[in-house]
């Protein structure tokens, strides 16, 4: 199973692990599950941190890559086809980061782990936490 981890899931595991469901915690620890974290989510974190809308235990350049590695996640780059494929999605969601995650999950045959139910309106499998 391949799982694309939504931004808030990594942040909760780093800052507020009690917010994660038991299923999410188990999947994040399961060595038989390939867990991915998108560069799009890193971009989102960087923007929110830079605006002062997100508190982290350290500078995101230090703590986010460490959190990704510590969680056994695989960094997922954004490529040109990912970025352009967003144009083919129905406009059910206006968050550009989430739309890019949908495309990456679709193109790579991944589930999305998120609390955001809007993902279920796209042709991706959602692990609702």
CATH code of the domain containing 6: 3.40.50.1010
Q: Report the domain count for the chain.
A: 1
What tens digit of pLDDT does each residue of 78-118 get?
Answer: 999 999 999 999 988 789 999 999 999 999 999 999 999 88
C-alpha dihedral sign at 53, 104, 39, 25 = positive
What is the domain range of residue 90?
Answer: 2-128
What's the full length of the chain, in residues? 129
Residue 128 has pLDDT above 90, yes or no: no
pTM for this model (two decimals): 0.93
Nearest to 37 by CA among 3, 83, 5, 80: 5
């Amino acid at each position: 199973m391949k799982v694309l981890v939504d931004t808030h899931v990594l942040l909760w595991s780093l800052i507020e692990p009690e917010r994660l469901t038991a299923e999410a915690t188990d999947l994040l620890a399961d060595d038989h599950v390939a867990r991915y974290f998108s560069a799009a989510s890193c971009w989102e974190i960087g923007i929110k941190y830079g605006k002062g809308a997100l508190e982290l235990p350290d500078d995101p350049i230090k703590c986010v890559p460490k959190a990704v590695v510590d969680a056994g996640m695989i960094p997922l780059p954004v490529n040109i086809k990912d970025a352009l494929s967003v144009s083919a999605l129905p406009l059910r969601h206006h968050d550009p980061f989430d739309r890019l995650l949908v495309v990456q999950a679709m193109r790579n045959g991944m589930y999305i782990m998120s609390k955001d139910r809007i993902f279920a309106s796209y042709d991706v499998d959602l692990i609702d936490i």
